[in-house]
Chain A
């Protein structure tokens, strides 16, 4: 069995399962945020009206809450949604509610690893499609909608179809101008945005072994854009030391069997891979950054669960140090803890002196919510994950998805730029 099959077998109390099986599995952790949470709470209150008993939920200690999409409260409706969440977590005794302006908070998929909210071998589901991110810790992590989360909050389990696994072996020697974002954009460009629909995408190979956790998280994060049910990387020494800096909790890592069956095996040798950009309006619409170097841009956005982790900000700072941005540039660290580190380690002053505006941790303009949404015909290079029509603002705005290094280099030149091409 693959790691995904073994985790789901464990969670369904079976010794053996295989891709295609449909059944109920026990959930270890569940999360909802200020967009999915009020929707879930609405489903629950409708069920209560129909006679369901809701004096308590399944397990308050396995439920956690993030405020991330429309925070700091973008308007009255957003503020009300945050109040709905706060009243609900108080009523049901949920202790892990990360509130903005009250210590650690940030984008849910960043907190899940920064705060070690999820551990290797666990089944983690959450009310957000980029839940796949957390699979980099060696967990089964998948996104669900309101009704499914509501069901889990009452029953602690959910039905799932065991996915087939596509294995991506990433090998070779990584040039220093290349980031995980270039690799995953290239993969999505090659296989297409629905190639992994209903499937798991697993990453291995020497490049993945050598990658830091922050970089691994970019790979799994973007599996959502290939339609994957989950992205996953087998836990190893990198996982262990990453988690040991963040938690004392014990866990039982699960690895796939050596005779595991994969639906596809694809090898990527990345020595000659170019810094890669996804053009409007699909994460699969890729080009080499150098092929787009004459495209003038209006703005650079460095944010989101995909592209505002600490190492993403470090990559941006290396390029912006001693330089000025030529177009409007925003940096929004993905969590308060990352923001603090960026201040302590001098990144924040590099950004400010380069002319960048630093925003608070939030999903912000990545999902077109607030904090820098795009105008009609505005062209943006962004470290985020989607560039669908209207995703970041006006339906006729244009977003080019790129690595933090390409984004920073583009900010310096005012045009789409390969990091090798800035003087």
Chain B
């Protein structure tokens, strides 16, 4: 794994839930492009116009709580979001992001949240578990992925993941 760079969209709000990320009425839709048009509609209807390919989100704790809808990481990833940085994630959102290979859920320290601002440019170094804020010339730690999760990330999603046990 190496490093990725992106521009920040910051929502300093805890418990951003999946009903806000992709509201219930759109759950019957399974076309990523169509879902992307409604990403974050419950919080910021302008969001799809603001995002460019490779951007990051920086959000409060328990990001993605609520339903198990994989529509949520699909919609964000289709817009171009490559990573979300938050002090914690709801577990199903975290799994979906990793296993589907959509985007990286990166756990940061609570105090880091206050140091990153909207439109900052960040570089996430996955080898050193380090985040560099290129705009402010600061760096922060990221919580390393658990070993198995790191392997799935490296593979690009659960479908590409193989280990000795799995090969049987």
Interface positions of A (Cβ within 8 A of B): 22-24, 34-36, 38-39, 42-43, 47, 50, 52, 69-70, 74-75, 77-78, 81, 127-129, 131, 143-148, 150-151, 155, 159, 161, 193-194, 197-198, 227, 229, 282, 367-369, 386, 388-391, 395
Contacts and interface: CB of A to CB of B under 8 A. Distances in A.
A43 B159 CA distance: 10
A388 B69 contact: no
B23 interface: yes
A367 B68 CA distance: 12
B65 A368 contact: no
A367 B27 contact: yes
Interface residues of B, number: 42
A145 B29 contact: no
B99 A148 contact: yes
B80 to A, nearest CB: 20
> Which of A35, A127, A144, A147 has the largest count of B CB atoms less than 10 A from its CB?
A147
Contacts of B69: 35-36, 145
B99 A390 contact: no
Contacts of A81: 28, 30
B159 A24 contact: no
Interface in B21-69: 23-25, 27-30, 42-43, 61-62, 65-69
Given A81-B28, A161-B146, 11 more contacts: A24-B166, A129-B66, A144-B95, A145-B95, A145-B96, A193-B65, A198-B91, A368-B24, A368-B25, A386-B17, A390-B42
A339 B50 CA distance: 48
Given A22-B147, A145-B68, A194-B15, A42 B24 contact: no
Contact of B27 (A24, A47, A193, A369): A369
24 contacts: A24-B166, A36-B69, A42-B30, A69-B28, A70-B27, A74-B28, A128-B67, A143-B92, A144-B68, A144-B95, A145-B68, A145-B95, A148-B96, A150-B159, A151-B158, A194-B15, A194-B61, A227-B62, A227-B65, A368-B23, A368-B25, A389-B43, A390-B19, A391-B24
Contacts of B148: 22-23, 159
A402 to B, nearest CB: 19
Nearest to A46: B159
A35 to B, nearest CB: 5
Contacts of A146: 70, 96, 100
Nearest to A70: B28
A22 B149 contact: yes
A14 to B, nearest CB: 12
Interface of B: 14-15, 17, 19-20, 23-25, 27-30, 42-43, 61-62, 65-71, 73, 88, 90-92, 95-96, 99-100, 146-149, 152, 157-159, 165-166
Contacts of A50: 159
Nearest to A194: B62
Contacts of A75: 28
A148 B65 CA distance: 17
